[in-house]
Chain A
Amino acid sequence: MTTLTQTPLERRYARLGLLLIAPTVLIFCAVIIYPLVSALYLSLFKVFTPTLESSWVGLANYRELLASGMFWSALVNTLVWTAGTLTLQIVLGIGMALVLHQNIWFRSLARSLILFPYFISTVVAVLVWKWVFNDLYGILNHLLMQAGITNMPVDYLGSMPNAMISVILVGAWKYFPFVVIAVLARLQTIPEPLYEAARIDGAGPIARFFDVTLPQLRDVLVVIIMLRAIWDFKEFDLIWLLTGGGPSSSTETLPIVVYRQAFALNQMGMAAAWAVSMMAILLVFMIVYIRKTRDKGAV
Chain B
Amino acid sequence: MANVDFRTVVKSFGTFTALHGLDLSIKSGEFVALLGPSGCGKTTTLRMLAGLEFPTSGDIIIGDRRVNDLPPGERDIAMVFQSYALYPHMTVAENIAYPLKKRGVPKAERGPMVAKTAEMLHLTALLDRKPKQLSGGQQQRVALGRALIRDPKVFLLDEPLSNLDAKLRSQLRAELIELHRRLGRTMVYVTHDQLEAMTMADRIAIMEGGNLQQFAPPAEVYARPANRFVAGFIGTPGMTLMDGMLVQSGNGWAFETEGLRLRLPRLIDSAKPGAAAFGIRPEDVHLGSGDLTGEVVLTEATGHETIVTVAIAPGVRVIARIPGTPALRIGDRVPVTLDAARAHVFAAGPQGARLNHPSGTADADEAFNIATPLRVASKGVLS
- Whether B87 pairs with A212 at a CB distance below 8 angstroms is yes
- Whether B71 pairs with A193 at a CB distance below 8 angstroms is no
| B137: interface (CB < 8 Å) | no
- Residues of chain A at interface, number, CB under 8 A: 19
Residues of B within 8 A of A204 (CB): 73
Query: Considering the chains assembled together, what is the distance between the CA atoms of A200 and B73 in angstroms?
Result: 5
- Whether B73 pairs with A201 at a CB distance below 8 angstroms is yes
Query: Considering the chains assembled together, what is the distance between the CA atoms of A211 and B78 in angstroms?
Result: 18
- Whether B87 pairs with A194 at a CB distance below 8 angstroms is yes
Q: Which of B73, B79, B81 contacts A203 (CB 8 A)?
A: B73
Q: Which of A197, A218, A299 contacts B81 (CB 8 A)?
A: A197
- Assuming the contacts A212-B87, A215-B89, asked whether A202 and B81 have C-beta atoms less than 8 A apart, the reply is no
- Whether A201 pairs with B99 at a CB distance below 8 angstroms is yes
Q: Which of B72, B83, B88, B103 contacts A199 (CB 8 A)?
A: B72
| A191: interface (CB < 8 Å) | yes
- Whether A193 pairs with B89 at a CB distance below 8 angstroms is no
Q: Which of B72, B83, B86, B88 contacts A200 (CB 8 A)?
A: B72
| B200: interface (CB < 8 Å) | no
Q: Mark A223-260, 1 if CB is under 8 A from B, else 0.
A: 00000000000000000000000000000000000000
Residues of A within 8 A of B150 (CB): 201
- Chain A binding site: helix, strand, loop or mixed by DSSP? helix
Query: Considering the chains assembled together, what is the distance between the CA atoms of A204 and B71 in angstroms?
Result: 10
- Whether A200 pairs with B77 at a CB distance below 8 angstroms is yes
- Whether A218 pairs with B85 at a CB distance below 8 angstroms is no
B245 to A: closest C-beta gap in Å: 50
- Assuming the contacts A191-B83, A193-B83, asked whether A199 and B71 have C-beta atoms less than 8 A apart, the reply is yes
- Whether B73 pairs with A197 at a CB distance below 8 angstroms is no
Query: Considering the chains assembled together, what is the distance between the CA atoms of A197 and B52 in angstroms?
Result: 10
| A290: interface (CB < 8 Å) | no
Interface residues of B in 148-185 (CB under 8 A from A): 150
Query: Considering the chains assembled together, what is the distance between the CA atoms of A196 and B98 in angstroms?
Result: 14
- Assuming the contacts A199-B52, A199-B72, asked whether A207 and B81 have C-beta atoms less than 8 A apart, the reply is no
Q: Which of A196, A202, A215 contacts B87 (CB 8 A)?
A: A215
Query: Considering the chains assembled together, what is the distance between the CA atoms of A200 and B153 in angstroms?
Result: 13
- Whether A196 pairs with B73 at a CB distance below 8 angstroms is no
Residues of A within 8 A of B103 (CB): 202
Query: Considering the chains assembled together, what is the distance between the CA atoms of A211 and B83 in angstroms?
Result: 18
Q: A191-B83, A200-B78 are in contact. List 16 more A-B contacts (CB 8 A).
A: A193-B81, A194-B85, A196-B52, A196-B79, A197-B87, A199-B51, A200-B50, A200-B73, A200-B79, A201-B102, A202-B99, A202-B103, A203-B102, A204-B73, A207-B102, A216-B88
Q: Could you list 27 examples of A-B contacts with CB < 8 Å? A: A191-B85, A193-B81, A193-B82, A193-B83, A193-B85, A194-B87, A196-B72, A196-B85, A197-B79, A197-B146, A199-B51, A199-B52, A200-B51, A200-B52, A200-B72, A200-B73, A200-B79, A201-B73, A201-B98, A201-B102, A201-B146, A202-B102, A203-B102, A207-B102, A215-B88, A215-B89, A299-B132
